[in-house]
Amino acid sequence: MSSRITTTISRLREQGRTALVPFLTVGDPDLQTSRDAILAVAEAGGDILELGIPFSDPIADGPVIQESSQRALAAGCSLPRVLEMVAWLRQRTDTPFILFGYYNPFFRYGDEALARDAAAAGADGILCTDLPPEEAGPLAGACRRHGLDRIFLLAPTSNEERMHAVAQYASGFVYMVSVTGVTGAREAAPAAGIHDLVRRTRAIIDLPIGVGFGISTPEQAASVAAYADLVIVGSALVRRVHEGGAAAAREFISSLRAGIDGAAANAEKPR
């Protein structure tokens, strides 16, 4: 059976549209605001949502997401609370959810238990930031057994050997990190070299390619939508949730959705 993630991407492709994938830290700044913001983002045009598991040492993230994790932890959020949130949200939206986190909380919970409970709650995939494909067998196997997509990261430094390793386990889509370094909004759109990397990745991995890290404006999102299957936005959205709650999140995602749809209508993405 096709996953909810795959079905969503396929439907958008048929419509000539690019998927918008927002990231939010669950529990930031508190559980109620977080719930409201997630629903607002889904209603405003977020096609697939990455739900960040708060963690004390998010080494791949810049200051905005690091601080959001600290606020969420201080508010009492945890992996079990995130799963409870997913179950609550699943009763109210069909938007696909990806649990996005670091391996320490996943390992402590247990690979099999995590996949089982995530699927039961209504999650659709898992992305573990610091688990390379060479060590991902147990978690990937548990996800496969419970019908969860396995989302993996590639970077500008990834060679063909790493791409083949990712191809062994990945499903749903592949997340292409647009820059070396940590997450965070940037002034310019991802470099043209990422377009070439996406093209080379498609020759090896037969999955949709999403591009993220640094996208913060409708113009940048539209630029990426010209060649990627998914546009992924994190820090800029997290900052708006912190500053203005669900209303600010809704407005921001609506602007990105309009920018992507306006520019991507005539974009040609090689398959």
What amino acid positions are annotated as catalytic residues? 50, 61
Dist. CA 12–CA 10, nearest whole Å: 5
Which residues is 100 bridged to in the sheet?
Answer: 52, 127
Helix (H, G, I), strand (E, B) or coil at 101: strand
Residue 262 CA neighbour count, 13 Å, CB half: 11
Report yes or no: 26 and 51 within 8 Å, Cβ to Cβ: yes
Pairing of β 230-233 and β 209-212: parallel
Dist. CA 23–CA 155, nearest whole Å: 18
Dist. CA 80–CA 235, nearest whole Å: 24
Contacts of 55 (CB under 8 A, 6+ apart): 69, 73, 101, 102, 104, 105
Dist. CA 97–CA 5, nearest whole Å: 8
Instruction: Give residue for tokens 């940590």.
Output: 182
Which residues is 149 bridged to in the sheet?
Answer: 125
AA identity, residue 241: V
Dist. CA 197–CA 93, nearest whole Å: 34
Report yes or no: 241 and 24 within 8 Å, Cβ to Cβ: yes
